[in-house]
Chain A
Amino acid sequence: MRSILRIGWLRGGIEIKQFVRQRESVVFTLLFPVMLLFIFGSVFKDKIAPGVTFSQYFVAGMIASGLVNTGFQQLAITIPMERDFGTLKRLRGTPMSPISYFIGKVIVVTVSMLVQVALLLAFGTLLFGLNLPASAALWLRFIWLVVLGSICSTILGIAFSSVPKSGRGASAVVSPIVIVLQFFSGVFFLFSSLPKWMQDFASFFPLRWLTLGMRSVFLPDSFATKETGHSWQTNTTVLVLLAWIVVGTVVSARTFKWSDR
């Protein structure tokens, strides 16, 4: 049997080709967050703390959101479409290992995620006063946040892919969830200014912790006192992300379907 890894690598190439040839995926997954960055970053330029503008706060949150867009949103929409179109059923009828299929998905998520983060970092620093991490320790934190956040986002996207009843309806189910979570998690508004119930609700989900983590990388340390917990709560962030990775893996393994019947 051909190597599972080699076929996974080849599937990654096929997935990327399909991704870049679909205008809607390029626009919605990659460009939409950049557009939001321009709109919100241009409108809300007020200082929210000494040395911190809302634009900086917002860009940090958008980078966290970017991980949700390229992982969760992309997979939770495209996998149901592939199920509807019979792509998954056809693949299941070949000697391709399911592991290779998921390797391909991880590759396309990784590539689009790297492009997304690079775009947001570039525009954030050039136009909206985002400061790149100042120390090696902060860069390291940024990297593990991206890695852990992407893994979590990818696995939850695969887990959620069994929820939409049809490929056509998938984006109508998935996009509102992402947008609501973005609002509740303090991407568009200061998290500390949101109603308590909204904060409590958002705290169950990874995005709220990813945005907090990204702020701990991109905002001055002094800003931690303005957060709801009066600190960056790095340990809680790691625990919540790990917990969702476990939940997502168990749910995926139990519910993933190769055809709709």
Chain B
Amino acid sequence: MSAAIEVKGLRKVYPDKKNGDKIAVDGIDLRVELGEIFAILGPNGAGKTTTVEILEGYRDRDSGEVQVLGVDPGNLENQDLTWRNRIGIVLQSTEDAADLTVAETVHHFSYYYTNPKDADQVIAAVGLADKRNAKIRTLSGGQRRRLDVALGIIGSPEILFLDEPTTGFDPEARRAFWELILQLQNEGTTILLTTHYLDEAEALANRVAVINNGKIIEVSTPGNLGGRNNAKARISWIEDGVRQEIFTDNPTLEVSKLATKFAGEIPELTVTRPTLEEIYLSMINVEAN
């Protein structure tokens, strides 16, 4: 199977004479399959945006090999516009075209592409149907972000790049956005997502990569990241007024033992596995030490 994105040994250094050069990306290898939702997680300054902007053709790299849809974004030459016709980009924050309406902007962008989606359907899909004739400057932060997403998907992209797409969304809007992304995946779109929200990565991504200090720490499914699937379950309950806890590979057995012991209801019983967030934070901290 051919990959949507293939990266080998990617390196990017920002020269800085005062404080010493900053190595933003330090030898990253990635492979994103066609039709996959792939999330890049990492703290601020980890190299996420630099990596994505190299893939989007916005930045030069210092070394390494990059292919996006079989094209090197650092060396587009005459393929520039045909390649851009196949990708969609949602940048971090933008505040442009404030005097145009939502409908004017989305319709206008649809003319740039050879195979655009229906502009009114896209406006409805991102939940801006009742704002279609509103000037962009009157939109809230979350509504603006949804417009950004609309402009990213209007061209029916084969690959969609989403850089922290749901910043500023309320929980309801975030759920609606996730639905939209999963629907795009069903239509065959490959999606590369960077995010700070672990629940977002867990809800959407087929695989996640954790980046820190310009290096990939691990690439895995959200369920298996950091050995999460093998992590011991934590069982906790109240006994003689004191909270007890044990860690075990056999939670069902332990719970049934407790049930026998208490002859019925176990007070304030919980059985949990480490959340993705706990796993992620431990990975980032281990790396930092």
**Closest beta carbon of chain A to B168's beta carbon, Å:** 15
- Is B95 in the interface zone, CB < 8 Å from A? yes
The interface residues of chain A lying within 8 Å CB-to-CB of B58 are 89, 92-93, 259
Given contacts A10-B111, A87-B94, A93-B56, contact A1 B85 (CB under 8 A): yes
Main secondary structure of the interface of B (DSSP, over half): loop
Interchain CB contact under 8 A, B111 and A95 = no
Q: Assess whether B99 is in contact with A21, with CB atoms less than 8 Å apart.
A: yes
Contact at A18–B84, with CB atoms within 8 Å? no
Could you mark each residue 217-261 of chain A with 1 if its beta carbon is under 8 Å from any beta carbon of chain B, else 0?
Answer: 000000000000000000000000000000000000000000100
Question: Nearest CB to that of B108 among chain A residues?
Answer: A14
Distance in angstroms between the alpha carbons of A80 and B254 in the assembled complex: 66
Rounded to whole Å, the gap between the CB of B178 and the closest CB of chain A is: 23
- CB <8 Å contact, B96 and A86: yes
Which one, B87, B97, B113, B155, contacts A18 given CB within 8 A? B97
Known: A85-B94, A95-B82. A18 touches B112 (CB 8 A): no
B91 touches A95 (CB 8 A): no
- A97 pairs with B96, CB closer than 8 A: no
Residues 64-86 (chain B) with a chain A CB within 8 angstroms: 81-82, 84-85
For A89, what are the chain B residues with a Cβ–Cβ distance below 8 Å?
A: 58, 91, 94
Give Cα A7–Cα B85 distance, bound, in whole angstroms.
Answer: 14
Contact A95 B93 (CB under 8 A): no
* Cβ-based interface call for B205 (8 A): no
Which size class do B's interface residues fall under? 20 to 34
Give the residues in chain B near A17, CB-CB below 8 Å.
99-100, 104
Chain B nearest CB from A258 CB (Å) reads 8
Is B114 interfacial (CB 8 A cutoff)?
yes
Complex CA distance for A147 and B151, rounded to whole angstroms: 36
The answer to whether A94 touches B109, judged by C-beta atoms less than 8 angstroms apart, is yes
Residues of chain A with a CB closer than 8 A to B56's CB? 93
7-34 of chain A: CB within 8 A of chain B:
7, 10, 14, 17-18, 21-22
Whether A93 and B91, one on each chain, are in contact in the complex, defined by CB atoms closer than 8 angstroms, is: yes
When distances are taken between beta carbons in the complex, the residues of chain B under 8 Å from A259 are 58
Interface residues of B in 103-135 (CB under 8 A from A): 104, 108-109, 111-114, 135
What 10 A-B pairs have minimum CB-CB distances, sorted nearest first? A87-B96, A86-B94, A21-B99, A93-B89, A95-B85, A85-B96, A95-B84, A95-B81, A96-B112, A94-B112
The 29 sampled A-B contact pairs (Cβ below 8 Å) are A1-B82, A2-B111, A2-B112, A6-B111, A10-B108, A10-B111, A14-B108, A17-B99, A17-B104, A18-B97, A18-B100, A21-B99, A21-B100, A22-B99, A85-B94, A85-B98, A86-B94, A86-B96, A87-B96, A87-B97, A90-B151, A93-B56, A93-B84, A93-B87, A94-B84, A94-B112, A94-B113, A96-B112, A259-B58
Known pairs A2-B111, A14-B97. 10 more at Cβ < 8 A? A1-B82, A10-B111, A85-B96, A86-B91, A89-B58, A89-B91, A90-B94, A93-B87, A94-B155, A95-B81
